[in-house]
């Protein structure tokens, strides 16, 4: 028997296939089921929510085994054709089950069946109600009279467009709940004061809701806040025919857009960048905006987003970490009077759903978010912007589905036929190679805004200069000089804690982590020993656990550098910025505030200081240890080091005074440091790309890593060795490297290993993986380990 219609459904299972179902029992659903809709289906003994990927007319599944769809959850697709195409592309490229890829793209609530569009119960006044209110009815029911009056005021507010809101936009998103809260507050005020309009402040979202003729009512949630036990009263009024209620969809594609403040005059190179991308609006083009720190990249983003929004289209902006880019989010809010949806990992499930709905309905015109926002629904997408495109955070490198949001953003822009702008002061070598190959266009902004000059960089030879707890004499002298001249100083060290090692001076015992191949880090002020890899945390011992002799912390962390500097510069206020200091929301802002106000003169920090913040009065940056990145077995380590140095150097001299950057190293003759110093990031990138080409590392080859972990080191290696064996004779252009134990083999109690697959190009790598992975998945040893494939890994063991 051939069924008329078969629906191929993606389900969140580890199986790399779709599942066929029949349509639901006839007559239940009038609308046709199309690709992109959610359905509830039987799966074994459970019921799962899945996405219809295809509608087919035939199936290999025998007729008696085909089951019908139980329920259709959407009247229209929640994923349009381009979204489905992107997800399918991602599943193929990363060799990952489509069902799991889809579950990355949809908020949890959507995956368990929440409606795609927010609906709410709203109450509004009828024409008779307005007339009754005008003559003071109902005279004998004060509660009814009050509620009726309240609803009349609400209806008035919908007609007379309110002034722009002074109230800040709700944190995170223009959610219906946030709008409700402020709506309630404003109405409560109006109700109590008796004056219907005075003192009322409406947020953008509220205003939009009220502007639409269908939503001139007041939500039940708002009424809950304004009138305890209002329902009884409302029912009485409804019986008189004076008020009415309805279930209203909050979706509103016609949200407003305005520019709150005009941007500053563009400099020539900014204008050139805006024009170049602007000409590409309406079709695909990939642009690398290579602008030094302080060159005004954000202004270029803002102008392009403005153009796109003016055309009635929408913008997708990706940022590496939301907590570290508050300034960027703030700049968008300050410039535009339009709803934004902000998506990031710190949202609750409900907040995420609200933000997603805001994007899906088209209400939000700007969708800004971290990694997984690349999958956000954006109707009428007009441009994609990836800020700090070199940042490693764009790559998901844990869990099952390991994807690069930056790379997927390019694919998405291509599918949508819109331009993509990849901005950075230190573009990834891959992106620069795409420029060299003519696939991307580079837009250069080598100068800083008004008067600010790029800082001078110099090396300090640690072998030739005395050191005081990790800080050399020339560095101390330079700091003194800059402080005397009223400058601020930034000291960078990529290691938090007090000291990386606790050593017994008698027997040589070093405090180890029991779960990892790592030393425990001393956190002196907290009096703890902590593992930075697995989170192990214990009391700091006073004596050696082996011989009982005194122990001492060895090496430097930010906490100790802070202490050392306090000794050198008594009376000078210091601030520190690292993960130990920034624990709660607002901690980072507090450190930034102390620096900006000039209260703190010296800032000691980790990688965190390199991102997103301007300290205009910082005139000196000291990089305490550049050497970690110079001799790593990971071919990307030099690139990361150069990016870090340039980014941290970019914090210096952003005001009117020139900055100075000092880099401490034991290897002042290292070619990487020399090329970086003499020719800047461009020179470094050229040299590094040449090196990669000679060694045939990406982007001159393609990599995929099979990584696993097991309870024993042998098991971890055994699976990968077997996997290698099944590959047999390798096709041309494909190499297998390993398996090898990870550099830190034991981590969090498990043993890690890796097998690297290298393809001469993308096609040869993926052809090989396609044939090989199904065999690997069937290996009995695969069940004894946890393993995952990482295509285009950004970190190698």
Give min distance, CB of 542 to Zn ion, in A: 12
Residues in binding contact with Zn ion, number by CB under 5 A? 15
* Nearest residue (CB) to Zn ion, 161 versus 547: 547
Q: Which tokens hold the place of 627?
A: 């050497």
* Nearest residue (CB) to Zn ion, 185 versus 506: 506
Residue among 377, 259, 271, 404 nearest 314 (CA): 377
Dihedral angle, C-alpha 365, 371, 377, 379, nearest 10 °: 40
Chain centroid to Cα 57, Å, comes to: 40
* Nearest residue (CB) to Zn ion, 766 versus 786: 786
399, 496, 518, 533, 750 from 745: Cα distances, Å = 18, 22, 10, 12, 8
* Nearest residue (CB) to Zn ion, 379 versus 508: 508
Q: Show the site string, 569-608: x = touches Zn ion by CB under 5 A, - = not.
A: ----------------------------------------
CA dihedral over 289, 326, 390, 89, signed as positive or negative: negative
* Nearest residue (CB) to Zn ion, 199 versus 508: 508
Rounded CA-CA distance 287/305 in Å is 15
Rounded CA-CA distance 257/338 in Å is 5
Considering only the stretches 104-112, 296-304, 500-508, 784-792, report the one whose residues sit in contact with Zn ion under the rule CB under 5 A. Answer: 500-508
* Nearest residue (CB) to Zn ion, 331 versus 533: 533
Terminal-to-terminal C-alpha distance of the chain = 54
Give min distance, CB of 557 to Zn ion, in A: 16
Q: Which of residues 398-457 bind Zn ion (CB under 5 A)?
A: none
Give min distance, CB of 786 to Zn ion, in A: 18
Exactly one of 137, 337, 515, 517 binds Zn ion (CB under 5 A); that residue is: 515
Q: Which tokens hold the place of 115?
A: 């409606």
Give min distance, CB of 796 to Zn ion, in A: 21
Rounded CA-CA distance 162/160 in Å is 6
The reply to whether 742 sits near Zn ion by the rule CB under 5 A is no
Considering only the stretches 259-267, 503-511, 689-697, 719-727, report the one whose residues sit in contact with Zn ion under the rule CB under 5 A. Answer: 503-511
The reply to whether 516 sits near Zn ion by the rule CB under 5 A is yes
Q: Show the site string, 525-564: x = touches Zn ion by CB under 5 A, - = not.
A: ------x-xx-x-------x-xx-x---------------
253 backbone dihedrals φ, ψ, rounded to 5°: -70, -20
Give min distance, CB of 519 to Zn ion, in A: 9
- What is the pairing mode between strands 340-343 and 218-219? unpaired
* Nearest residue (CB) to Zn ion, 81 versus 507: 507
* Nearest residue (CB) to Zn ion, 537 versus 599: 537
Spatial contact of 78 and 37, defined as CB atoms under 8 Å apart: yes
The reply to whether 504 sits near Zn ion by the rule CB under 5 A is yes
Exactly one of 31, 131, 466, 507 binds Zn ion (CB under 5 A); that residue is: 507
Dihedral angle, C-alpha 67, 72, 73, 75, nearest 10 °: 150
Residue among 400, 455, 397, 365 nearest 649 (CA): 455
Give min distance, CB of 511 to Zn ion, in A: 10
Rounded CA-CA distance 610/142 in Å is 62
* Nearest residue (CB) to Zn ion, 176 versus 516: 516
* Nearest residue (CB) to Zn ion, 509 versus 700: 509
Spatial contact of 531 and 663, defined as CB atoms under 8 Å apart: no
Rounded CA-CA distance 780/723 in Å is 10
Give min distance, CB of 518 to Zn ion, in A: 5
Exactly one of 79, 125, 425, 513 binds Zn ion (CB under 5 A); that residue is: 513
Give min distance, CB of 521 to Zn ion, in A: 10
Binding residues for Zn ion, rule: CB under 5 A, are 504, 506-507, 509, 513, 515-516, 531, 533-534, 536, 544, 546-547, 549
């Amino acid at each position: 028997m051939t069924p008329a219609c078969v629906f191929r459904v993606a389900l969140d299972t580890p199986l790399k296939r779709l599942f066929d179902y029949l349509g639901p029992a006839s007559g239940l659903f009038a609308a046709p089921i199309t690709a992109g809709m959610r359905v509830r289906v039987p799966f074994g003994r459970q019921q799962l929510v899945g996405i219809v990927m295809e509608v087919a007319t035939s199936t290999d599944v025998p007729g008696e085994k085909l089951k019908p769809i139980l329920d259709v959850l959407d009247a229209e697709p929640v994923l349009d054709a381009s979204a489905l195409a992107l997800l399918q592309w991602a599943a193929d490229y990363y060799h990952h089950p489509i069902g799991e890829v889809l579950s990355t793209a949809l908020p949890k609530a959507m995956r368990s069946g929440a409606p795609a569009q927010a609906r709410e119960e709203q109450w509004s006044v009828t024409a008779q109600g307005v007339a009754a209110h005008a003559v003071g009815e109902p005279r004998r029911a004060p509660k009814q009279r009050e509620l009726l009056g309240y609803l009349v005021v609400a209806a008035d507010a919908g007609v007379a467009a309110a002034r722009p809101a002074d109230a800040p936009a709700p944190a995170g998103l223009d959610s219906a709940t946030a709008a409700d809260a402020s709506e309630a507050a404003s109405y409560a005020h109006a109700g109590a004061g008796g004056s219907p309009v005075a003192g009322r402040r409406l947020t953008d979202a509220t205003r939009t809701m009220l502007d639409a003729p269908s939503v001139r009512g007041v939500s039940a949630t708002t009424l809950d806040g304004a009138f305890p036990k209002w329902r009884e009263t409302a029912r009485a009024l409804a019986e008189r025919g004076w008020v009415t209620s309805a279930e209203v969809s909050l979706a509103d594609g016609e949200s407003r857009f305005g520019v709150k403040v005009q941007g500053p005059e563009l400099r020539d190179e900014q204008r050139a960048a805006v024009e170049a991308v602007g000409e590409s609006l309406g079709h695909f083009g990939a642009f690398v905006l290579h602008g030094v720190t302080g060159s005004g990249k954000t202004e270029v983003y803002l102008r392009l987003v403005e153009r796109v929004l003016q055309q009635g289209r929408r913008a997708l902006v990706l940022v590496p970490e939301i907590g570290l880019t508050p300034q960027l989010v703030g700049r968008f809010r300050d410039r535009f009077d339009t709803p934004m949806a902000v998506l990031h990992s710190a949202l609750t499930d409900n907040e995420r759903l609200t933000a997603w709905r805001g994007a899906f309905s088209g209400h939000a015109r700007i969708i800004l978010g971290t990694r997984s926002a690349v999958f956000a629904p954006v109707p009428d997408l007009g441009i994609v912007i990836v800020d700090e495109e070199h940042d490693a955070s764009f790559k998901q490198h844990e869990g099952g589905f390991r994807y690069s949001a930056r790379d997927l953003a390019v694919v998405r822009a291509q599918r949508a036929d819109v331009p993509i702008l990849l901005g950075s002061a230190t573009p990834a070598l891959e992106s620069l190679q795409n420029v060299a190959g003519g696939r991307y266009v580079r837009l250069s902004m080598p100068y800083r805004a008004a008067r600010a000059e790029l800082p001078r960089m110099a090396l300090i030879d640690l072998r030739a200069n005395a050191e005081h707890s990790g800080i050399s004499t020339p560095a101390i002298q330079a700091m003194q000089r800059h402080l005397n001249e009223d400058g601020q100083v930034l000291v960078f060290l990529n290691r938090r804690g007090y000291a990386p090692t606790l050593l017994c001076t008698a027997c040589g015992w070093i405090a180890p982590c029991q779960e990892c191949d790592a030393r425990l880090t001393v956190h002196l002020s907290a009096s703890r020993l902590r593992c930075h890899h697995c989170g192990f945390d214990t009391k700091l011992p006073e004596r050696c656990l082996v011989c009982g002799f005194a122990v001492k912390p060895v090496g430097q962390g930010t906490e100790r550098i802070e202490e050392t500097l306090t000794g050198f510069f008594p009376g000078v206020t210091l601030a520190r910025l690292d993960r130990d200091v920034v624990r709660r929301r607002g901690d980072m802002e507090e450190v930034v505030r102390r620096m900006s106000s000039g209260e703190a003169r010296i800032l000691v920090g980790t990688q965190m200081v390199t991102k997103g913040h301007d300290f205009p009065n910082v005139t000196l940056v000291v990089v305490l240890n550049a050497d970690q990145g110079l001799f790593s077995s990971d071919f990307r380590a030099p690139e990361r080091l150069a990016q870090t140095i340039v980014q941290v150097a970019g914090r210096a001299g952003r005001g009117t005074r020139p900055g100075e950057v000092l880099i401490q190293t034991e290897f002042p003759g290292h070619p990487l440091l020399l090329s970086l110093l003499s020719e800047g990031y461009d020179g470094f990138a050229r040299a590094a790309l040449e090196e990669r080409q000679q060694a045939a590392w990406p982007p001159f080859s393609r990599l995929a890593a099979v990584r696993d972990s097991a309870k024993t080191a042998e098991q971890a290696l055994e699976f990968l060795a077997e996997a290698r064996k099944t590959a047999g004779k390798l096709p041309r252009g494909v190499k297998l490297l390993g398996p090898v134990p990870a550099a830190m083999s034991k981590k969090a109690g498990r043993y890690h290993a890796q097998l690297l697959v290298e393809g001469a190009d993308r096609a040869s790598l993926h052809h090989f993986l396609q044939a090989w992975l199904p065999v690997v998945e069937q290996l009995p040893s695969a069940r004894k380990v946890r393993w995952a494939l990482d295509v285009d890994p950004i970190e190698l063991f």
